Amino acid sequence: MSHPPTSRDVARLAGVSQATVSYALTGRGTISAATRARVLEVAESVGYRPNLAARSMRTRRSGRLAVVTGATLDHQLRLLTGAGEVAEAAGYAMETHTVDGTVEQRTARVRDLAASRQYEGVLTLVPVLPEVLSDPSAPADDDATPVVAEAAFDEQMRSLGDLADASTVEVFVAALVAAGYRRFVHVGGPEHFASARARRDVYLASVARAAADPATSDVVSLGVLSRSWSGDDARRAVAEIPADAPPLAVIAANDYLAAGVVRGAAERGWSVPGDLVVTGWDNFEMGALMMPSLTTVDVDFPEAGRTAMRRLVATVQGEPRPGPGAPIHRIVWRESTGGVPGPADPAST
Which segment of 63-72, 180-189, 251-260 scores lowest on mean pLDDT? 63-72
Over residues 320-337, the pLDDT tens digits come to 877 777 788 999 999 999
Distance CA 109, CA 114 (A): 9
- For 83, the enclosing helix (H) or strand (E) is helix 74-89
- Higher-pLDDT residue of 24, 106: 106
Over residues 209-246, the pLDDT tens digits come to 999 999 999 999 999 998 899 999 999 999 999 999 99
Which segment of 75-79, 195-199, 330-334 scores lowest on mean pLDDT? 75-79
- Higher-pLDDT residue of 180, 126: 180
**Structure confidence at residue 224 (pLDDT):** 95
Q: Is 8 exposed, middle or buried (0-12, 13-18, 19+ CB in 10 A)?
A: exposed
**Structure confidence at residue 210 (pLDDT):** 97
Over residues 206-216, the pLDDT tens digits come to 999 999 999 99
Residues paired with residue 28 on neighbouring β-strands, in sequence order: none
Provide mean pLDDT across the span 60-81.
79
- For 121, the enclosing helix (H) or strand (E) is strand 121-124
- Higher-pLDDT residue of 192, 252: 252
**Structure confidence at residue 139 (pLDDT):** 46
Measuring CA to CA, which residue among 243, 266, 267, 262 is closest to residue 252? Answer: 262
Confidence band (pLDDT; 50, 70, 90) for 158? Answer: low
From residue 223, alpha-carbon distances to 8, 141, 214 in Å are: 66, 54, 21
Please give the domain boundaries of the chain with CATH numbers for all domains: 7-50 (1.10.260.40), 58-157+302-326 (3.40.50.2300), 162-295+333-337 (3.40.50.2300)
Backbone angles phi, psi at 69, to 5 degrees: -140, 180
